[in-house]
Amino acid sequence: MILKIATTLQISENQVRKTIALLDEGATIPFISRYRKEATGSLDEVQVAAIRDLRDQYVELEKRREAILKSLKELEKLTPELEKAVRGAETLAKLEDIYLPYKPKRKTRAMAAREKGLQELANQLRLQRLADPEVLAAEYLEDVEEALAGARDILAEEMMETAEAREEARNLFTRKTTVKSSVAKGKQEAGIKYKDYFDWSESLAQAPSHRILALFRGENEGILNLNLTGPDEEVLNKLERRFITGNNASARQVGMAIQDGYKRLLMPAMETEMRAEAKKRADEEAIRVFAENIRQLLLAAPLGQKRVLALDPGFRTGCKVVCLDEQGTLLANTAVYPHIGPGQAAEAGHTIQDWVKKYKVQAIAIGNGTAGRETESFVRTLKLEGITIIMVNESGASIYSASEAAREEFPDKDVTVRGAVSIGRRLMDPLAELVKIDPKSIGVGQYQHDVDQKKLQASLDDTVISCVNSVGVELNTASKQILSYVSGLGPQLAQNIIDYRTKNGPFVKRSDLKKVTRLGEKAFEQAAAFLRIRNAKNPLDASAVHPERYEIVEKMAKDLNCKVADLLSNESLRKQIRLSQYVNAEVGIPTLTDIMEELAKPGRDPREQFEAFEFTEGVNEIKDLRVGMILPGIVTNITNFGAFVDIGVHQDGLVHVSQLADKFVRDPNEVVKVAQKVQVRVTEVDEVRKRIALSMKS
């Protein structure tokens, strides 16, 4: 297994062995990649995750192998040759092919024929030496044709279950299957969004992930008829060359068995496999794209610790308004009605102006849902000097506002107030707020409900954990939700930390974590360096330096006759440090280099600086768009076929991959990121289908 993983990932066996050992000890991926570089040879998170996933795949393969061997033994079918074949199978498909002839199954036509005593007749036909098989068939049953048909059923099953024949057919089907779609009768109008696939055909192997998922979704909704067509003639020719060795009446019986077996047994099995394989491949790619979008959204630039007034917009029901302090604590809430008449609008304006002064507001966050643009326009008319006004993507805010976490924090507030709080906090720190919401509800995926949910959840958990730990978490202000994603913690320890904080006040030093109920040495080792204590007595407690390496930093300070705090503030002192002096059996240059980078910028936030953004005034709905308009926008979602951009009209436009740049673009992520500000040109508007085509070409 270790050799196979190393070969697949093109790394050394020792790197794989050490990484698996760390994983087996309970170490997390962020911890391994950040704090065990000497052991792994500086493998990054992607490589460590790949080792884990391949290890898990091999473990599953071995479980299935042992289960098959056990079954064959119980069936008294296990021969030395068969055992060797089972143990030598390198893929699940090969393993299942070998097992198929022996696998217990419901009664088949071949079984019925065997019960009639026709196995020997089938054996004789397969030898293809009988010039007149009907003579022999008459010895088995009075009805000669029934005897020959039964023998052919046995042959068909045996030949179609031959592992080598199935592998040959699978290779051809994998390369040459065509997928065809057509509109179901009477569904043209109801399925207008699938219009592109009403008469569609392409190679299944070359069909991109998003198209496969769209076709399957259309089929599931009853809009599309989907057919897979394999290379029937080629497969039949291969089967005939493999099994037909003579040129007589017996050989013709074998040929008839091949034709029947292919149509009845092998072809449906291959089509089922192709569907499953295409779905698996499409799922993997869609999950990869979705996880990358989530990563970019979670790591979007934070406004930071500022006083924020947030509005959850609405027309008739009004706008819910909240004020938050620098830590995101709710100071006040109310409702204003700027869209139902001049009198109410004037009153709403006075309320917002008064609150901006009273609560020393530094920024205003406005949700981008219904009435969002209209509310933004209204707020801008108030001429609030020095106040940054930002439209915030509110996807999933309603999910959060009705969640247990929101009810726990604001038991006496209604869902609209909680939603407004979420909008404001998203502006301050997208990561800290978005981890409270199921990633599938954040609004950056297309097919997240169509793909394998278990694999999707595992990938999203990896992504959120990676983001949270790369940024680091402020121990004394973090929510239970974000703490639960910290390396080595989880929901229960996160709650225990909150309980300790509530009872004993803020943590003074990292080592106090060991006083938290059930937070033992292992959890401390995994979590401590990702948890920061701002303004701690020991400045290293606010950094990403691991407590297990404090001694090294203290020795560096001692050798330079200064304090640790001096190392953090004085670059000239750091330049005097010779890293080679501090190398030992456990700590090498990679870790020491990380320590030096951290001393230069302790607790640095890897996210970009926040930039204010405004949509074009007067362009609020799709009907306001004109071909040729140049508009500012924000990237909301990235797919393999392009990027979706919010231009402020309540319907994202698509920049097709061919329109992303003046050069050829293979992967849209090379050009754009989620939450990136871009300039786009409107190239097409379809109000009926609510489709907007955009271009970023110069």
Sorting pLDDT into bands at 50, 70 and 90, what band is 438? confident
Domain ranges of the chain: 2-102, 109-294, 308-428, 622-695
pLDDT tens digits for range 530-557: 999 998 999 999 999 999 999 999 999 9
Cα 428 from Cα 425, distance rounded (Å): 5
Sorting pLDDT into bands at 50, 70 and 90, what band is 449? confident
Mean pLDDT, residues 164-188: 96
Q: Is the pLDDT of residue 218 over 80?
A: yes
Question: 135 or 613, which is more confident?
Answer: 135
Q: Is the pLDDT of residue 153 over 90?
A: yes
Mean pLDDT, residues 121-142: 95
* pLDDT, position 590: 95
Cα 79 from Cα 67, distance rounded (Å): 16
CATH of 2-102, one of 3.40.50.300, 1.10.10.650, 1.25.40.10, 2.30.40.10: 1.10.10.650
Report the run of H or E that residue 201 belongs to, with start and end: strand 199-203
Relative to beta strand 473-474, strand 388-392 is unpaired
* Residues in a beta bridge with 330: 324
* pLDDT, position 395: 85
Angle at 671 between CA 666 and CA 674, to 5 degrees: 115
Sorting pLDDT into bands at 50, 70 and 90, what band is 688? confident
pLDDT tens digits for range 572-616: 999 999 999 999 988 999 999 999 999 999 988 899 889 888 899
* pLDDT, position 441: 80
- Mean pLDDT across the chain: 94
Report long-range pairs for 286-289 (Cβ below 8 Å, ≥24 apart). Answer: 286/209, 286/210, 286/213, 286/445, 286/446, 286/447, 286/448, 286/450, 286/451, 287/451, 287/452, 287/455, 287/456, 287/459, 288/459, 289/209, 289/638, 289/639, 289/640
What is the chain's length?
Answer: 698
622-695 topology per CATH: OB fold (Dihydrolipoamide Acetyltransferase, E2P) (2.40.50)
Question: 62 or 442, which is more confident?
Answer: 62
The 3-state DSSP class for residue 29 equals: helix
> What are 464's two structure tokens?
């959120």
> What are 85's two structure tokens?
């074949």
* pLDDT, position 448: 80
Q: Is the pLDDT of residue 291 over 80?
A: yes
With residues binned 3-state (H G I as helix, E B as strand, rest as coil), the percentages for the chain, rounded to 5, are 55, 10, 35
> What are 554's two structure tokens?
């203290």
Sorting pLDDT into bands at 50, 70 and 90, what band is 675? confident
pLDDT tens digits for range 79-102: 999 999 999 999 999 999 999 999
Tell which residue, 319, 328, 419, has the closest CA to residue 376: 319
* pLDDT, position 447: 77
Mean pLDDT, residues 387-415: 90
Mean pLDDT, residues 150-160: 97
Angle at 234 between CA 232 and CA 235, to 5 degrees: 65
The 3-state DSSP class for residue 546 equals: coil
* pLDDT, position 439: 83
Report how far apart, in Å, the C-alpha atoms of 184 and of each of 177, 222, 227 are: 22, 7, 12
* pLDDT, position 437: 87
Cα 148 from Cα 385, distance rounded (Å): 94
Q: What CATH number labels 308-428?
A: 3.30.420.140
Q: Is the pLDDT of residue 347 over 80?
A: yes
Sorting pLDDT into bands at 50, 70 and 90, what band is 19? very high
Mean pLDDT, residues 372-395: 92
Mean pLDDT, residues 436-445: 80
Q: Is the pLDDT of residue 442 over 90?
A: no
* pLDDT, position 33: 97
> What are 265's two structure tokens?
């047994």
92 in Cβ contact with 209 (< 8 Å): no
pTM higher than the cut 0.95: no
The 3-state DSSP class for residue 68 equals: helix
Mean pLDDT, residues 549-566: 95
> What are 75's two structure tokens?
């069936």
Q: What CATH number labels 109-294?
A: 1.10.3500.10
Q: Is the pLDDT of residue 443 over 80?
A: no
Q: Is the pLDDT of residue 445 over 80?
A: no
Q: Is the pLDDT of residue 444 over 80?
A: no
312 in Cβ contact with 686 (< 8 Å): no
310 in Cβ contact with 372 (< 8 Å): no
* pLDDT, position 388: 92
* pLDDT, position 557: 96
* pLDDT, position 274: 97
Sorting pLDDT into bands at 50, 70 and 90, what band is 640? confident
